[in-house]
Chain A
């Protein structure tokens, strides 16, 4: 079974803090993704990575950065957290670049910025 784990289930941070969200997958997948889920908007892609040290912007990269130093680990960084970044953050991985590859999701981190 593919397992995608995220470092925290719930996180509360203050405005202006630097926030790190960690994601680890154990299936040697090439691709990793960060989404945020908001009511009425579904899942929106923030960044994805198709290889170590490679990254591509998704639809809403502003205010975020990512790091992938090892194949199994993909980190999302909020440089200076703001209240509009309060959301559910979901990490996912997939084995390849083809459309048919499903993505495997972690349980999510609910981030609240006060």
Chain B
């Protein structure tokens, strides 16, 4: 029972363009949402998060949008850089219960 879904296993964009990674969840009890980035041979690292009481959070080139009615969140990266190439995991949490999506592999081409 996957409560957090990332339906696109991969995404390829040109350097300088926008990357949009999507995530859907099923449990309306989740109150915090996070994005992690994972490079090969490394553990995931925290990227950006958003509380369920907000609909947008921005940090430099990264913006996360939350649509609670649709149970959908997205991560926008503008402009995309080759160093952003990694696997991105969406996560949703309630207290210690954190659920991860399957990940989306982003490739940014120079």
**Chain A residue contacts of B43, Cβ below 8 A:** 4, 90, 92, 105-108
- Size of the chain B interface, CB-CB below 8 angstroms: 27
Write the A60-94 contact mask toward B (1 if CB under 8 angstroms, else 0): 00000000000000000000000000000010100
Chain A: residues with Cβ within 8 Å of the partner, total of 27
The answer for the CA separation of A4 and B30 in the assembled complex, in Å, is 26
Tell whether A42 pairs with B95 under 8 Å between CB atoms, given A100-B49, A102-B34, A107-B43.
Answer: no
Interchain pairs with CB closer than 8 A, number: 58
Which residues on A sit within 8 Å (CB–CB) of B44? 43, 90, 105
* Contact (A99, B32) CB under 8 Å given A50-B96, A105-B44: yes
Residues of B within 8 A of A48 (CB): 96
Q: Beyond A43-B89, A102-B49, is A31–B96 a contact (Cβ under 8 Å)?
A: yes
Q: A39-B102, A41-B102, A107-B43 are in contact. List 10 more A-B contacts (CB 8 A).
A: A42-B101, A56-B96, A92-B43, A98-B95, A99-B31, A102-B46, A104-B46, A108-B41, A108-B42, A108-B43
A-B complex: 4 closest residue pairs judged by Cβ atoms:
A105-B43, A99-B32, A43-B100, A102-B46
What would 20 A/B residue contacts be, using CB atoms closer than 8 Å? A9-B41, A35-B100, A40-B102, A42-B4, A42-B89, A42-B100, A42-B102, A44-B100, A45-B98, A48-B96, A92-B43, A97-B96, A98-B95, A99-B93, A103-B46, A105-B45, A107-B41, A107-B43, A108-B42, A108-B43
